[in-house]
Structure 1
Amino acid sequence: MVKDEIELQGNDDYEVVPLTPLRRLEKRIEMMETTKSTQNLERFVDKILDMTEMNQKIVDEMVKSNQALREDVGVLIGKMDNLNNNMNDFVSIIKSAGEQDMESTSKTAVTEAITPLIDKMTEITKGTQEGNEALAETLENIDKRLKRMQSAPTNAKPVSSILARRGMMGSQTQSNSPPQQFNTRQ
């Protein structure tokens, strides 16, 4: 196993984060540790906060799109159930028409003509039911994942506690200047 890889255990959820911005941040941390510049530290903290806000916006958008998808799948399941009921009604109409028609024509001719149709309708109904079950299962999985995402505690420590632990936070780092925008496309 490569030294940068970690073996994952259990069913924990993980978030995929691009490495390029993280590598840039690591380089900047090293530079800041060597120069001990308060201004660089403030800019770094501002950039981390901007990245955190951007990350939260992305998560919020994913939750919204997952909710919309869940609603659409719910509507689709309802329509599939309706189609299944209509197919069952259609098959019963064909059966009753076949029974009435059998009285006037020979039993074997009608049976040979209608049996394949009834079998095909039954297959279609079974396929529709299987599709409904698969959609219901998918909807349950989406619902479980959404609940897990919404109930997952955040393990992130505040930046101030990290800086205080390193002894890097002082009265100089607290400024009233607005956070600086930062461009990740370098």
Structure 2
Amino acid sequence: MPFMIVDKVHAKVLMFHADGRLQGAAPALLGLARGDDSTPGIGDRKLSTIRPEERTTPSGRFVASLGRGLRGEEFLWVDYSTALSLHRVVAGAPGEKRAQRLDSATPADNRISYGCINVPVTFYEKVVRPAFTSTNGVVYILPETRTAREVFGSYDVEGPARARDLAEAASAPVTLHPVPLPVR
């Protein structure tokens, strides 16, 4: 399946083909509040009831697919239960300057949404839509306040556990299993 990585720390989205080749990358707007979890029940609430500290983009691994909103607009459903989607950047309130935030040189001002991931229109149209048309894909949203182990059940690549695993693998005896050749 195609897959996407959302890097919240750097406010970037990277889209990959199913074979792992990078298909494209773009800046992203993310939830106003830092954090790796959604507030329980957030997907059932009206936007007007969501407090600023609840406006997070949750971390995790999600199976995503294209869908439509109540007004017919297309977007990528990342997590239906929390109403988390990836979509074209929206105008929002004039003071939010969402398009300008996407164009800025720093990710510091890319925290503005209610939790959804906003990307440039051309990136959505030319990369996201084609990648997810007629198929599901996986979206990995990287953590910013927790470790990868806590979010994905993995170990830290550079941590002590990884160093120990590499040392053990390097000292393990190698066993070769002969493979019979086909008879012609």
TM-score of Structure 1 vs Structure 2, range by shorter chain: under 0.3
Q: Identify which of structures 1 and 2 has the higher relative contact order when contacts are C-alpha pairs closer than 8 Å and 6+ apart.
A: 1
Larger fraction in strand = 2
Larger radius of gyration: 1
* TM-score of the two chains, using structure 1 as the length reference: 0.20
Larger fraction in helix = 1
* TM-score of the two chains, using structure 2 as the length reference: 0.20
